[in-house]
């Protein structure tokens, strides 16, 4: 061996040792993946918690702001759902382009600051404006956090980490009513102030722990105009629906709202068909399973949003329960969702997924029908509400994960995340329609008394939920798959 080759070999060996040493130091500097997951799951818990807390706090907020009109107060819920639905897909594209960590920090920062603004609001419409901002932050936060989960999880634990991330939303659903009930005992502002310390702590930890991540090579901007049209269209539709009893169905304002809604939504569809990066990828709807899953999801949320808000208002306004009593009364339903989800995974190994989802919808309809049949003006929670509400909770656990996972199971891998976002958007639009439908029904049937009005609203929800179950039958693939491939956890296709 020549001296030059010996020198080269020694040099290569030294370089290898130096690289290995640097790699070891880099690994030591990397935070534990479980710690990163804690930050990401906490942020999702925070954004989901806000929705369920506000449901319980709607009546106390109205008292605090001097606003008794349910049609006006409903915008505290609808503003969030409309903006979140419209911006979720474009926001996902943006965080892919500019980086997941930057998107996560931006989304969480906007959500936290908007929470402070909401808490300081002394006027309903100022509060609604800050709810718009909260939703914009959550729309950026959601895809960014999911992208970070997928890139930071150990390869062997990606599925498990995604499950934990998704389950944080279910935990928020169970905790939200109780947390909201406790906080409004002090003041309704605390339901928003709670977000500040948690959000600030999560931001500080995210800055230190989260990796910068890679940016997408696709530098095309999403269709932000299409997103704005979707906001305008769904917002105008909700405005016309909730204000029609007050304005009159044949008034110029009501008809104008519906005309604006039709024009904006039609324009949004046209742009989505032509734009390179549309807010709604219409080509996905050619997939039969995906199309039926979106229809079933929209109908499911339409029915469930009316059921949840209707029960909350019933407990507070008819039985005159306090906020904490209402929170404790609502909590058993969401608490049963996890049990339903576990049952769904087992049933999906033995039967078609469409039957699993439809069975869940049937249970939700059965549960709310029980409530509608048994409630009276005298409080009888243990016999009239609790059994039906727990049955409905199991049904939610059977249906929602099945719909979401099945919707994306037949899509190409590179379109799974977009498909999940579209299904989520359908659910948020359904929430707006459900709240609006409840407001219309309660206003139209008010002369018959609260029992008549709420029972009618719940029976309408039963009918919509039954329609969701029928639509859910369409998510079963035409060709039966093996038991091992019939079920995948929500968002698993993103991995």
Residues 6+ away with beta carbon under 8 Å from 64: 187, 188, 189
E strands, 257-343, in order: none
Burial class (CB in 10 A: 0-12, 13-18, 19+), 414: exposed
CATH topology of domain 32-216: Growth Hormone; Chain: A; (1.20.1250)
In the block, which residue shows the tokens 């409903």?
Answer: 74
Distance spanning both ends of the chain, measured CA to CA: 50
In 307-337, which positions are buried (b, 16+ CB within 10 angstroms) versus exposed (e)? bbbbbbbbbbebbebebbbbbbbbbbbbbbb
Its sign, for the CA torsion 294, 299, 301, 304, is negative
Tokens of 349: 């190994």
How many whole angstroms separate alpha carbon 378 and alpha carbon 358?
Answer: 34
How many whole angstroms separate alpha carbon 138 and alpha carbon 145?
Answer: 10
Residues 6+ away with beta carbon under 8 Å from 392: 307, 333, 363, 364, 366, 367, 368
What pLDDT, on a 0 to 100 scale, did the predictor assign at position 43? 84
Q: Which CATH number is correct for 281-495, 1.20.1250.20, 2.40.10.480, 3.90.800.10, 3.90.700.10?
A: 1.20.1250.20
Query: Under a CB-based contact definition with an 8 Å cutoff, are residues 472 and 399 in contact?
Result: yes
- Smallest CA-to-CA distance from 337 within 138, 139, 176 is with 176
Tokens of 337: 């969702």
How many whole angstroms separate alpha carbon 252 and alpha carbon 266?
Answer: 21
What pLDDT, on a 0 to 100 scale, did the predictor assign at position 415? 65
Query: Under a CB-based contact definition with an 8 Å cutoff, are residues 348 and 405 in contact?
Result: no
Q: In sequence order, which ranges of 66-123 are alpha helices (DSSP H)?
A: 70-73, 75-98, 100-119
How many whole angstroms separate alpha carbon 340 and alpha carbon 335?
Answer: 10
Tokens of 316: 């507070």
- pTM of the full structure: 0.82
Each residue of 77-126: pLDDT tens digit? 988 988 888 888 788 778 877 788 888 999 999 999 999 999 999 899 99
How many whole angstroms separate alpha carbon 171 and alpha carbon 47?
Answer: 12
Tokens of 188: 């309704």
Residuewise pLDDT in 10s, the chain (495 residues): 444 444 444 344 444 444 444 444 444 456 678 888 888 888 888 888 877 788 888 889 999 999 888 889 999 998 898 888 888 878 877 887 778 888 899 999 999 999 999 999 989 999 999 999 999 999 898 888 888 887 888 888 776 787 777 777 777 777 888 888 888 888 999 999 989 999 999 999 988 888 875 555 655 677 888 888 988 888 888 888 888 888 888 899 999 999 999 999 999 999 988 888 887 778 878 888 889 999 999 999 999 999 999 999 999 999 999 988 998 999 898 889 888 888 888 888 888 889 999 999 999 999 999 999 999 989 999 999 999 999 999 999 899 888 877 877 767 765 666 777 788 888 888 998 999 999 999 988 888 899 999 999 999 999 999 999 999 999 887 655 444 444 444 433 333
Residues 6+ away with beta carbon under 8 Å from 386: 332
CB 1: neighbour CB atoms within 10 A?
A: 7
Q: Is 192 left (phi over 0), alpha (psi -120 to 50) or beta?
A: alpha
How many whole angstroms separate alpha carbon 176 and alpha carbon 58?
Answer: 13
């Amino acid at each position: 061996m020549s001296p030059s080759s010996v020198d080269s070999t020694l040099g290569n060996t030294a370089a290898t040792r130096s690289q290995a040493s640097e790699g070891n130091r880099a690994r030591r500097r990397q935070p534990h993946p479980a710690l990163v997951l804690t930050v990401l799951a906490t942020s999702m818990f925070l954004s989901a918690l806000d929705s369920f807390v506000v449901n319980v706090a709607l009546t106390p907020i109205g008292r605090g702001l001097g606003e008794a009109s349910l049609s006006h107060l409903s915008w505290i819920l609808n503003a969030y759902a409309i903006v979140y639905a419209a911006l979720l897909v474009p926001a996902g594209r943006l965080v892919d382009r500019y980086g997941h960590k930057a998107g996560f920090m931006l989304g969480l920062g906007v959500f936290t600051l908007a929470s402070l603004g909401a808490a300081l609001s002394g006027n309903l419409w100022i509060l609604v404006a800050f709810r718009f901002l909260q939703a914009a932050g959550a729309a950026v936060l959601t895809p960014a956090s999911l992208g970070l989960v997928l890139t930071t999880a150990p390869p062997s634990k990606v599925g498990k980490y995604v499950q934990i991330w998704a389950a944080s939303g279910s935990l928020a659903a169970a905790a939200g009513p109780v947390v909201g009930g406790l906080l409004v005992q002090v003041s309704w502002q605390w339901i928003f102030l709670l977000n500040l310390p948690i959000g600030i702590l999560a931001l500080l930890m995210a800055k230190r722990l989260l990796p910068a991540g890679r940016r997408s090579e696709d530098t095309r901007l999403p269709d932000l105009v299409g997103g704005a049209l979707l906001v305008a269209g769904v917002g105008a539709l909700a405005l016309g629906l909730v204000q029609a009893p007050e304005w009159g169905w044949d008034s110029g304002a009501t008809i104008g709202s519906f005309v604006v809604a039709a024009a904006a939504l039609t324009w949004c569809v046209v742009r989505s068909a032509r734009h390179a990066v549309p807010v709604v990828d219409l080509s996905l709807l050619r997939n039969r399973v995906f199309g039926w899953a979106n229809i079933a999801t929209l109908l499911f949320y339409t029915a469930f949003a009316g059921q949840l808000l209707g029960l909350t208002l019933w407990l507070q306004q008819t039985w005159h329960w306090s906020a904490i009593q209402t929170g404790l009364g609502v909590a058993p339903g969401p608490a049963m969702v996890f049990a339903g989800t576990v049952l769904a995974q087992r049933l999906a190994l033995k039967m078609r997924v469409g039957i699993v989802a439809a069975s869940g919808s049937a249970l939700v309809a059965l549960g709310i029908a029980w409530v509608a049949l048994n409630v009276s003006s005298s409080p009888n929670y243990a016999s009239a509400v609790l059994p039906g509400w727990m049955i409905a909770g199991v049904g939610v656990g059977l249906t929602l994960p099945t719909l979401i996972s099945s919707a994306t199971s037949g899509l190409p891998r590179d379109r799974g995340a977009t498909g999940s976002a579209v299904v989520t958007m359908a659910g948020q639009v359904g929430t707006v329609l459900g709240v609006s439908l409840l407001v219309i029904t309660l206003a139209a049937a008010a002369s018959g008394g609260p029992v008549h009005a709420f029972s009618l609203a719940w029976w309408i929800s039963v009918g919509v939920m039954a329609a969701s179950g029928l639509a859910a039958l369409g998510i079963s693939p035409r060709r039966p798959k093996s038991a091992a491939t019939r079920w995948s956890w929500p968002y698993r296709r993103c991995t």
